[in-house]
């Protein structure tokens, strides 16, 4: 039985048309479990959220590109993600959970299929490989132009950032480091995040407003100052994503249209929107023309 709520069936329409080739840079594909079973040791059991469901959401919102983040419930089995990449006809890319014994041949195969990075979890309630494994993987993926994707929380973020700066590959911080909104933009953790503007290989996803909101209530207004501060500090290395279908939500289930409209309102400049939704993901994930 699923222990996560499903995403909303209906979402708010976007307030503005998105630029051509706009990219949802963070979402997941779950199952369907009867075709792509969940891992036996999974940290949670979601309801099915297959590729065709998120592709329909993208069409409603105006996205033609996206980045699938391999979820912990599927473990190292990339079957559902690779199937989605194949069906996405070049319009989708992915971030993997890479088995520790994956060799150069496996990485090359994943790269050919559209994988562009490896995710590591440093959040307490999720399976956590730890820094040693990350440090071993980074040199292996460097020749392929991949990055590491970091799912941290505010407790782990400050310790991780100096180490991440030493890596031979770019790194992406998911969900604004999950710094709680109530701590504010002047907290030590968020100041450390903002300092990444001076590191050329550091990227941040302005996603997961519900995960950093201290109220947990839509539309998560208390998280908006964090987004605004990042937009001012480092727009050339920001990515935006829905985090659909929002596994393990503690408060209100996010409305993906509301999340998008919050970004559009906080980023009214059309050129800057295009940079974050089109140019930045194109650079990092290498979409084909």
- Separation of alpha carbons 219 and 257, rounded Å: 10
The pLDDT score that the predictor gives to residue 74 is: 94
Mean pLDDT of all residues belonging to the chain:
95
Does residue 195 carry a pLDDT above 70?
yes
The mean pLDDT value for 55-84 works out to 97
Peptide bond before residue 55 is cis, with ω within 30 degrees of 0? no
Q: Please, is 105 exposed, middle or buried when counting C-beta atoms within 10 Å of its C-beta (0-12, 13-18, 19+)? A: exposed
What contacts 159, CB < 8 A, 6 or more positions away? none
- Give me the pLDDT at residue 110, please: 98
Question: What would the two tokens of residue 145 be?
Answer: 């132009």
> What 8-state DSSP symbol labels residue 34?
T
Per-domain boundaries in the chain: 23-285
Res 128: pLDDT? 60
Rounded mean pLDDT, 60-72: 97
pLDDT at residue 100 in the model: 86
pLDDT band at 129, cuts 50/70/90?
low
pLDDT, tens digit, for every residue of 260-269? 999 999 999 9
CATH (one of 3.40.50.2000, 3.90.550.10, 3.20.20.140, 3.40.50.2300) for 23-285: 3.20.20.140
Q: Which residue has the higher pLDDT, 44 or 237?
A: 237
8 A C-beta contact, residue 285 and residue 88: no
Q: What is the pLDDT of residues 82-126, one digit of tens each?
A: 999 999 989 999 999 999 889 999 999 999 999 999 999 998 766
pLDDT of 16-39, one tens digit each? Answer: 999 999 999 999 999 999 999 999
- Give the residue from 138, 89, 140, 143 showing the smallest Cα distance to 114: 89
In percent, the amount of the chain with pLDDT more than 70 equals 98
The catalytic residue positions are: 243
Greater pLDDT, 225 or 40:
225
Q: What is the pTM of this model?
A: 0.96
Closest CA to 27 of 240, 209, 252, 248: 240
Tokens 């991949």 locate to 146
Q: What is the pLDDT of residue 4?
A: 87
Lowest mean pLDDT among 2-16, 50-64, 194-208: 2-16
Distance between CA atoms of 190 and 230, rounded to whole angstroms?
Answer: 10
For residue 215, what are its two tokens? 């109220």
pLDDT above 90: residue 155: no
Structure tokens at 276: 């974050």
Identify the weakest region by mean pLDDT among 100-104, 113-117, 239-243, 279-283: 100-104
């Amino acid at each position: 039985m699923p222990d996560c709520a499903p995403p909303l069936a209906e979402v708010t329409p976007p307030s503005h048309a998105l630029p051509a080739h706009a990219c949802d840079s963070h979402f997941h594909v779950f199952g369907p479990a009867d075709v792509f079973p969940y891992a036996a040791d999974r940290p949670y059991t979601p309801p099915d959220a297959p590729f065709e469901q998120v592709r329909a959401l993208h069409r409603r919102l105006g996205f033609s590109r996206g980045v699938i983040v391999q979820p912990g419930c599927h473990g190292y089995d990339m079957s559902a993600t690779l199937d989605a990449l194949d069906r996405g006809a070049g319009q989708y890319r992915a971030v993997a959970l890479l088995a520790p014994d994956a060799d150069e041949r496996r990485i090359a195969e994943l790269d050919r299929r559209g994988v562009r990075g490896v995710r590591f979890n440093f959040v307490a309630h999720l399976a956590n490989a730890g820094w040693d494994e990350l440090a071993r993987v980074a040199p292996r993926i460097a020749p392929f132009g991949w990055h590491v994707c970091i799912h941290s929380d505010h407790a782990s973020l400050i310790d991780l950032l100096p180490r991440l700066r030493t890596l031979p590959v770019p790194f992406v911080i998911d969900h604004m480091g999950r710094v709680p909104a109530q701590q504010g933009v002047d907290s030590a953790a968020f100041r450390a995040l903002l300092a990444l503007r001076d590191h050329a290989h550091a990227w941040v996803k302005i996603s997961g407003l519900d995960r950093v909101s201290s109220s947990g209530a839509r539309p998560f207004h208390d998280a908006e100052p964090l987004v605004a501060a990042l937009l001012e500090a480092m727009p050339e290395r920001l990515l935006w994503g829905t985090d659909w279908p929002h596994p393990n939500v503690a408060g209100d289930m996010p409305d993906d249209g509301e999340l998008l409209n919050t970004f559009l309102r906080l980023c009214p400049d059309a050129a800057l929107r295009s940079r974050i939704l089109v140019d930045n993901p194109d650079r990092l994930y290498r979409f084909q023309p």
